[in-house]
Chains A and B, each alone.
Chain A
């Protein structure tokens, strides 16, 4: 039987609205995540040279100028020299691999001699995979500013000389090049050269060389200092005097206005409603703990009983406060607002001492971070599921009561409602019905 189970218009509107709202909030989170993912993925790929990169002035001896600014065609002799260089580098890398157990994985450069023949005029197209280093291409890749400002450690100095062999041959630059020397004999030089071959910049390989620009560093440290000062100016004598003055001002405002005004503003009513909703959840959580606890002796049993009684008393008080709130609200006219008010966002936790800037959260492994994030989402999801469960209960259970029992539509409704309410919509039960013998 395939009966369409329709719902009453009123309850369906509310249910659909709630579910759509849940879907929307999920979609919003997804959008934000996607934005962050795009940025992060792009950072982990090889970095494209910036389009509007202004030509650098002749750098001092500190900087490691790799990028040629002009295209040039290598002569055959240059190519041969580069070929030798490449082979030497390959050998060095093999040796290095044997010496150190590079845990990073694929250290073997894709130094293909074939790529050297590529015209240097071609831009290095960034390889999509971040785990391979770009092959040593005699092509122009302007490294980003961050590298330029790097103070190159002294061990790298020898390799500049090495590179200048190839540099002079092909790249045509004089700055930063000292006496050309084939330091091929020195393996150490070669080893460091292997990591400095002109190629696209990847965070994985050269991330530790980055350095923030000076102006930014200054501004950022000033920023954190100012935020810290702002948080700490909460208590002092002048603050107390100001607080008194403010309270007096508010009182005067109230008394000079001819109109007594609402006893509670709409914002306050909303805040109180949210507060009571949270209180309800807290009480329910605690009740859940007590009901699932397994008392081992009579003391624990009695304690459980007392706790539940105490919870009952607290709920009673909440209800009393809520009823008072209803009375106050009744005195004000007006329907439930269509739009949403711009609400003043309070620092969460309702702390008396709000800390205005974020604190640190230290983690030690990616696994830990993933667990934390997953748990956070899980808690959010559970909050949402509980809310939806309450809404569904309120709207669907009365329906089951109303319909004519034991008819086929009612059975279908029961099955659907059971699935939604008791199994989160994931599982369905089977209904066996004994058919009357056909007559």
Chain B
């Protein structure tokens, strides 16, 4: 290749070389990636390509599994899991669901599925982030991860039957106790972290960090563990490098995938029977509907009360009133614009606060410091969140109190002596 020849975008010679390189990069950055030869065979739907691609898709779709854990799933289980996961995410082609469970066929279809997943989002980066080697002491500054947890599985029909309300009280007490323990353990951990950070100040080669983290100190204490950490780090570096390569070269892959799609026979348009997939039924949406309706009811009450008070009140009359009213309306609209956007379909409900895990770095008080969040800011944000959440909780409890008082009814009835106020 002469230096004077300019690289043109569509150059057959380059393309033939570029494609295997792109696929090699992709395969290296994904866990359990097969060789480029496997990909080529898959295009022609050769059966020997199928098992490797099933395994790859399984690893990609279940990233929460540890490296070795996927071996405990039988090939059939892996195939079924892949099928379910793809349909859950809305994979449009039926042909995948019709592939046999023994994992012996379907190379081309699996290739299309992989491409579909890659096209929908930054898959390699996401996978790398999930299994990232953590070198620092990290603390998430938000609760998004905990809030996103799916909640309890629908209780199956048990023989337990009815439950005494005192059991519920006992469970609540147990929960309170666990939180207290958690808080105490957390305080201890912070104290220990503080000590470790201050004892190792000045040791880190990276000036912006300044001191060692627990992981780094641990690797000094335990050389064998340190060697393992180093190996993991080097593996991750290789995958990161491959991901960057992939991003540079992926265009040629998409051109190729076009041809793969073209090589598929067109699917019949009449829908064949497909097994039901579990979907959130309307039953699951019911609580949410009720919640929104309850909220709507509370707002309606509040608005009616205030409107009535306003009409009966003295303020808001006179010629300058309409101008003031318009100004206020605009101000409120602006005020709530962010909230409105967050609540819209597809909006992001980020609660306007810092997010994600952060690496803890101890600095001297008063030092200007480099880039990064400052603890006082985060504390402020958390305090205001705490205050707002407490208001909501009191509100809900107050509602219950009113409701119960109403149900108990007027005297003559038993006299309720409320517990002493806080």
Tell me if A152 is interfacial: C-beta within 8 Å of chain B: no
Chain A: interface secondary structure? Answer: helix
Which B residues are CB-close (under 8 A) to A417?
165, 404
A300-329 interface mask toward B, CB cutoff 8 Å, 1 = contact, 0 = none?
Answer: 011111111111101111110111011001
Are A334 and B279 CB-contacts (below 8 A) given A256-B266, A282-B342, A383-B146? yes
Known: A334-B281, A356-B125. A6 touches B203 (CB 8 A): no
Q: CA A421 – CA B271 in complex, angstroms?
A: 51
Chain B residues near A128: list those with CB within 8 A. none
Complex: A345 Cα to B144 Cα, angstroms: 11
CA distance A364 to B85 in the complex (A): 45
0/1 interface trace, chain A 219-230, chain B, CB 8 Å (1 if under) = 111111011011
B3 at interface, CB cutoff 8 A: no
Chain A residues with CB under 8 A of B237:
219, 222-223, 226
Q: Provide the B127-168 mask, 1 if CB < 8 A to any CB of A, else 0.
A: 011101101101111111111111111111010111111111
Q: Are A394 and B290 in contact (CB under 8 A)?
A: yes
> Do residues B393 and A389 form an inter-chain contact, with CB atoms below 8 A?
yes
Residue of chain A at shortest CB distance from B402: A422
Give chain A residues whose Cβ lies under 8 Å from the Cβ of B357.
358
Complex interface: chain A residues within 8 A of B162 (CB): 6-9, 12
Q: Using CB atoms, name the residue of chain B closest to A203.
A: B199
Contact indicator per residue, chain A 21-37, by CB within 8 Å of chain B (1) or not (0):
11101110110011011
CB-based contact A285/B316 at 8 Å: no
Is A374 part of the contact surface with B, judged by Cβ < 8 Å? yes
Instruction: Report the contact-size class of chain B (Cβ under 8 Å from the partner).
Output: 35 or more
Asked whether A361 lies within 8 Å of B316 as measured between CB atoms, the reply is no
Q: Is the CB of A257 within 8 A of B375?
A: no
Interface assignment of B77: CB less than 8 Å from any CB of chain A:
no
Q: Please tell me if A5 contacts chain B, counting CB pairs below 8 Å.
A: yes
B residues 214-232 near A (Cβ < 8 Å) are: 214, 216-224, 226, 229-230
Residue B386 is within 8 A (CB to CB) of chain A in the complex: yes
A-B contact count (CB 8 A): 672
- Cβ-defined contact, A432 with B141, below 8 A: no
Among A18, A34, A298, the one with the most B-chain Cβ atoms within 10 Å of its Cβ is A298
Interface residue SS majority, chain B: helix
The distance in angstroms between the C-alpha atoms of A395 and B419, with both chains bound, is 24
Pairwise interchain contact A280-B291, C-beta atoms closer than 8 A: yes
Q: Are A39 and B214 neighbours in the complex by a CB distance under 8 Å?
A: yes
Asked if B279 contacts A329 (CB within 8 A), the reply is yes
State whether B292 touches A288 (Cβ < 8 A).
Answer: no
- Contact, CB under 8 Å: B202 / A432: no
B397 at the A interface (CB under 8 A) = yes
A122 to B96, CA, bound (A): 68
- Are A359 and B345 in touch, CB under 8 angstroms? no
Contact between B371 and A379 (Cβ–Cβ < 8 Å)? no
Determine, out of A173-181, A190-198, A207-215, the stretch whose residues face the partner at the interface. Answer: A207-215
B317 nearest CB neighbor, chain A only: A298
Is B79 among interface residues, defined by CB-CB distance under 8 A? no
How far is B288's CA from A318's CA once the two chains are assembled, in angstroms? 11
Quick check: B90 and A424 within 8 Å, CB to CB? no
B12-20, B38-46, B48-56, B406-414 - the one binding chain A? B406-414
CB-based contact B355/A351 at 8 Å:
yes
User: CB-nearest residue of chain B relative to A368?
Assistant: B375
Chain B residues closer than 8 Å to A62, beta-carbon distance: none
CA distance A362 to B333 in the complex (A): 36
Query: What are the interface flags for A407-420 relative to B under an 8 Å C-beta threshold, 1 for contact and 0 otherwise?
Result: 00001011011111
B349: chain A residues at CB < 8 Å are: 275, 278-279, 282, 350
B186 within 8 A of A: yes
Q: Per-residue CB proximity of B309-353 to A under 8 Å, as 1/0?
A: 110011110000000110011011101100110111111111100
Q: Is B250 engaged at the interface, CB distance under 8 Å to the other chain?
A: yes
Question: In the complex, what's the smallest C-beta–C-beta distance from B115 to chain A, in angstroms?
Answer: 7
Which of B300, B302, B316 interacts with A298 by CB under 8 Å?
Answer: B316
- Asked whether B233 lies within 8 Å of A220 as measured between CB atoms, the reply is yes
Is B11 in contact with chain A by the CB < 8 A criterion? no
Q: Which of A252, A272, A338, A420 contacts B154 (CB 8 A)?
A: A338
Interface-centre pick from B128, B241, B332 (highest chain A CB count, 10 A): B332
B 251-294 to A, binary, CB cutoff 8 A, 1 in contact else 0: 10011011001001011111100001111111111011111110
Known: A336-B281, A372-B375, A382-B393. A357 touches B419 (CB 8 A): no
